[in-house]
Amino acid sequence: MTVKLTVVRPGALTTVQDRGRRGHAHLGVPRSGALDAPAMSLANRLLGNAPGAAVLETTLTGCALRPDRGVTVVVGGAPCPVTVDGRPTAWGVPVRVPAGAVLDAGGVTAGVRSYVAVAGGIAVEPVLGSRASDLLSGLGPAPLRDGDVLPLGAPAHQPALPDAAPWPAPPTELTLPLRLGPRADWFTPAALRTLTSATYRVSQHSNRIGLRTEGPPLERVSAGELASEGMVLGAVQVPPDGRPVVFLHDHPTTGGYPVIGVVAETALAAAAQAAAGTPIRFTVA
Amino acid sequence: MTPGRSVGAPTQSRSVEVRPAGRHALLVELPDAERTGAFHAELLRRRAAGTLPQVEEIVPGARTVLLDGVAHPEELARRIADWDVPSRADDDGGVVEIFVRYDGPDLGQVAALWGVGVDEVAARHSAYTYRVAFCGFAPGFGYLTGLPAELHVPRHDTPRTRVPAGAVALAGPYSAVYPRATPGGWQLIGTMPDPAPLWDLSREEPALLTPGTRVRFVAETQDGTP
Render pLDDT for A53-76 as a digit per residue (tens, 0 to 9): 999 999 999 999 999 999 999 999
Point out the residue among B20, B68, B180 whose CB comes nearest to the CB of A25: B68
Cα B25 vs. chain centroid, distance in angstroms?
21
Point out the residue among B62, B135, B180 whose CB comes nearest to the CB of A227: B62
User: What percent of chain A clears pLDDT 70, i.e. is strictly above it?
Assistant: 98
Three-state secondary-structure class, residue B151: helix
Give the amino acid at A88: P
Residue A81 DSSP one-character state: -
Q: What is the ipTM of this complex?
A: 0.94
The residue among B23, B182, B200 with the most chain A CBs within 10 A of its CB, best to mutate, is B23
Say if residue A271's pLDDT is above 50. yes
Considering the entire predicted model, what is its pTM?
A: 0.93
Band (pLDDT 50/70/90 cuts) for residue A225 is: confident
pLDDT at B5: 35
The residue among A139, A176, A254, A260 with the most chain B CBs within 10 A of its CB, best to mutate, is A254
pLDDT at A161: 66
Asked whether the beta carbons of residue A184 and residue B3 sit closer than 8 angstroms, the reply is yes
Task: State which residues of chain B have pLDDT below 50.
Answer: 1-13
CA distance A100 to A108: 24
Asked whether the beta carbons of residue A26 and residue B134 sit closer than 8 angstroms, the reply is yes
pLDDT at B4: 34
User: Residue A121 burial by CB count (10 A; 0-12/13-18/19+): exposed, middle or buried?
Assistant: buried
Average pLDDT over residues A236-255: 96
Residue ranges of chain A whose CB lies within 8 Å of a chain B CB: 22-29, 127-128, 137-139, 179-184, 227-232, 234-235, 252-255, 259, 262-265, 284-285
Render pLDDT for A118-151 as a digit per residue (tens, 0 to 9): 999 999 999 999 999 999 889 999 999 999 999 9
Say if residue A285's pLDDT is above 90. no
For B22, nearest residue in chain A (alpha carbons): A262
DSSP states of chain A as a string?
---EEEEEE--S--EEESS---S-GGGT------SSHHHHHHHHHHHT--TT--EEE--SS-EEEEESS-EEEEEEES---EEETTEEE-SSS-EEE-TTPPEEE---SSSS-EEEEETT-B-PPPBTTB----TTT--SSPPP-TT-EEEB-PPPSS----S---PPPPPSSEEEEEEE-SSGGGB-HHHHHHHHHSPEEE-TT--SSEEEEESSPPPBS--PPPPPEE--TTEEE--TT---EEE-TT--SEESS-EEEEE-GGGHHHHHT--TT-EEEEEE-
Closest approach of chain A CAs to the CA of B221, in angstroms? 31
User: What percent of chain B clears pLDDT 90, i.e. is strictly above it?
Assistant: 84
pLDDT at B222: 60
Residue ranges of chain B whose CB lies within 8 Å of a chain A CB: 1-3, 8, 19-25, 27, 56-66, 68-69, 134-141, 143, 180, 201, 206-207, 210-211
Point out the residue among B21, B59, B65 whose CB comes nearest to the CB of A262: B21
pLDDT at A156: 83
